[in-house]
Chain A
Amino acid sequence: MSTTKSEREVDLYEGVIRAFPKYDCFTEVPFFGKHVDLVFAQASMRKICAVEVKLTDWRSALRQASLNQLFACYSYAAFPARTANRLARLGSKVFLESGIGIISVSDTADIILPAAKSSYIYKDHRVRIRKTLKGSKMQSPKALEVVRNAIAARNRSVEFLQTRTS
C-alpha cells in the first residue's frame, strides 16, 4: 500500500491488523462517546493494545492515543510511512515521553517506536472495554470490507462496528 494512495484512515487498517497477528482485532470500539480505531486483544483479554490511525494530524493522534492509555496496556498511533518517518525525525520525543508507540504503514506495518506499558490504566475503564469486546466476540467477525463500507457510509451503529475484522 503506497502512502500517497492512502486517502482514508480505514485504508491503513489492513496493514496495522497484520502487525498484530496473534490478537483478535476489533474496530471502531466505542469509548465514552468516541470510537477507538483499532483494539487488539489476546483471547484471554489480559493484554489489550489500542491503535489510533491518522493520515497527517499527529497531535490529534497523540491526544486520542493518550486517552486510549486509560484502558490499553499499550497504545499506538499509526500513520502512513511518510508521516511516520517525518514524525520519527522531528516529533517522536513527545510520543516517547508519553509512552505512545508509532506504527509506520506502507506495504507492511512497522512499529518504529514501541509503546511503553501504560501507567494510566483505570480499572473501571478497562473492565468496560473488556465487556464491550466480549459482547462483540459473541458475533461472527465481519470482513474488513464490511467495516470499511460502514465507515464510508458513516454508519457507526453498534451492530456493525463492534465486530472483529479478523
Chain B
Amino acid sequence: MPLPQEIAPWNFYRLGPAKEKELFKRHRNTYSGVAISAHLASYYQKFCLEFVGELQKPYFIDPVTHIFAADPDSLLRFLKDKTTMRTKRDQFGNKIKGGLKRSIQKLTTAYGPIAEKIVKDGRRARLSDFSDDAKTLDFVKRVCAFQTEMLSELPQKYKKYQKYAIKAGALQTGVKNYPAFVIPPYFPIVDEGWLALNAKMTKLAKQFAGELPIFSVIAGEVDKLQGMRSAIVEAYSKLELSGFLLWGDGFKGDQGSSSITAYRSVVKALAGDKGQPVIALYGDALSLILAYGGLTGFSCGICYGEKRGCDQDMDIEGALPPFYYIARLKRKYQLETDIRRVNLNQHVDLLCPCAICSGTADLLSLDDSQTKEHFMLARQLEIDAIRGGLSAAAIKKQLQDAYEKYKNTPPFSGSLDHLMTWARLL
C-alpha cells in the first residue's frame, strides 16, 4: 500500500493484542495506517498477513533492530509457575526471567548471523559487530527482505478468489501488498559511531527496498539528538530518503518544556526546508500540537503505547487497566480511579460526543474494548479538526482555557501542566 494520502497529521495505530483486530476493522476510517512490530509479524505471521490483507490500509513493519542493542535481559521471557501459571518471583518479589522469547528467537533467525551472535553471546550489540561489510550487507538485506516479503502475499484464504478479482479488474496479476515504506535497520544514536552505522545501513538498504520509499528511524535520548541534530541531518542529507521516523527514548508529552522544545527542534531539523515527512514512532496527543511544527504523523497503540524507552522490555505482562481519553484535557485517565472519582456529567465540556460515549449512561460501564473504540473516535475528531483548518491560535486557546478551568479540580489537578507547556509551543 502507498503512503497515506490524507493531509497531515497521519496517525498509525500499532497492532497489539489479537482482539484489537475487530477494532481496526470496525473503525478503519479513524486512522491512516497500521504499524506492526517485526517480532509480532514474525511470530504471528499468518495472523498479521490476513490482518493487513483484509484491512487494505497502508502499513509498515517496525524492524525493532534496536532490541539487539538493548539490555539482553529484555529479550528473555518471564518464567511461569506451571501450577499457578503466575510469573515466578525471587525472594525480593522481582520477576524471574527464563530463556529467550520465542518471537525474538524467530526474528533473530530471520535477521541472520550478526543478530544470532549478539543474542548467543547474551550482550548488547557493539559497533565492532558491523565491522565486516559483507556481514553488515547481509544483515541489512535480511531486515529489508523481512519487511517486503513477510506480509506482502495475498492471504491464503483469499487466494481462491484471486482469479475472479483479477478478472473483475479489482486486482492486478502479481501485485503484492507491500508496506508503505521500508525501514532500514536502526540502533539508538548514542554517539557519532552509531550515527555513522545507522546512516551506512540506510545507504545499503536502498538497493533492497525496490521502489518502496525509505524512512529511517532516528532514535535516542532527546537531548542527545538535539545536540547532534546538525550531524544527523548531514549524515542523511545525501541519501535521498523519503522521510524519517523519530523516536525520543522514553519521551512523552508531559515532560518539561525544555525536553519538548528539544524534541521539536529535532523534528524541524529532520523536516528541513523541503518539509520532509517526519513521523513520531511513538507519540501521544503532543503529536497533534507538533503537527503545527513540522511533524507529519505519529504512531501509538490504541489508547496505550504512546511512549517507549529504547531499553524497555517489548512485552508487558498482564492486562492494562482501561483508560479513558479526555480530548479536552489531552490525557488519558484511569477508569476505575480518576473517572470514578469525578462525575463527568457535571463537566459537560469534558463529555465526548462519540457513538460509544453517547450510547451509555454510565462511562464506568465501558469495558476495555469500548474505551479503545472511544479513543479511536475521539482522536479522529481531533485530527479532523486539524485537517479542517483549526488554527494554532485556536488550539492554543483551547489548551489554556482547559488548564484554567480544571487546574484546581480534583482529580485533574496536578495532571494538566502539559496543557500550558504545549500552549507555549504554539
Query: A: which residues have CB within 8 A of B?
Result: 31-34, 57-67, 69-70, 91, 94, 98, 100, 120, 122, 125, 155, 157-160
Of B219-227, B334-342, B389-397, the one contacting chain A is B334-342
Q: How far is the CB of A146 from chain B (nearest CB, A)?
A: 12
Nearest residue (CB) in A for B334 is A32
| A-B contact number at CB 8 A | 63
Interface of B is mostly: loop
Q: How far is the CB of A10 from chain B (nearest CB, A)?
A: 19
Q: Which 3 A-B pairs have the closest CB atoms?
A: A66-B410, A157-B93, A60-B414
Query: B: which residues have CB within 8 A of A?
Result: 91-94, 321, 334, 336-338, 340-341, 407-408, 410-415
Complex CA distance for A161 and B413, rounded to whole angstroms: 27
Q: How far is the CB of A122 from chain B (nearest CB, A)?
A: 6
Q: How far is the CB of B332 from chain A (nearest CB, A)?
A: 12
Q: When the two chains form their complex, are residues B92 and A59 in contact, meaning their CB atoms are under 8 A apart? A: no
Q: When the two chains form their complex, are residues B93 and A159 in contact, meaning their CB atoms are under 8 A apart? A: yes
A159 neighbours in B (Cβ, 8 Å): 91-93
Query: CB < 8 Å: which of B91, B94, B336 contacts A32?
Result: B336
Given contacts A33-B321, A159-B92, A160-B92, whether A62 and B341 have CB atoms under 8 Å apart is no
Q: When the two chains form their complex, are residues B92 and A62 in contact, meaning their CB atoms are under 8 A apart? A: no
Q: When the two chains form their complex, are residues A94 and B408 in contact, meaning their CB atoms are under 8 A apart? A: yes
A60-B415, A62-B410 given; 15 more Cβ-contact pairs under 8 Å: A32-B321, A32-B336, A57-B414, A60-B413, A61-B414, A63-B412, A65-B410, A67-B337, A69-B341, A94-B413, A100-B410, A125-B340, A158-B93, A159-B92, A160-B92
Q: How far is the CB of A145 from chain B (nearest CB, A)?
A: 17
Complex CA distance for A103 and B167, rounded to whole angstroms: 78
Q: When the two chains form their complex, are residues B92 and A32 in contact, meaning their CB atoms are under 8 A apart? A: no
A155 neighbours in B (Cβ, 8 Å): 92
Q: How far is the CB of B7 from chain A (nearest CB, A)?
A: 37
Complex CA distance for A34 and B412, rounded to whole angstroms: 16
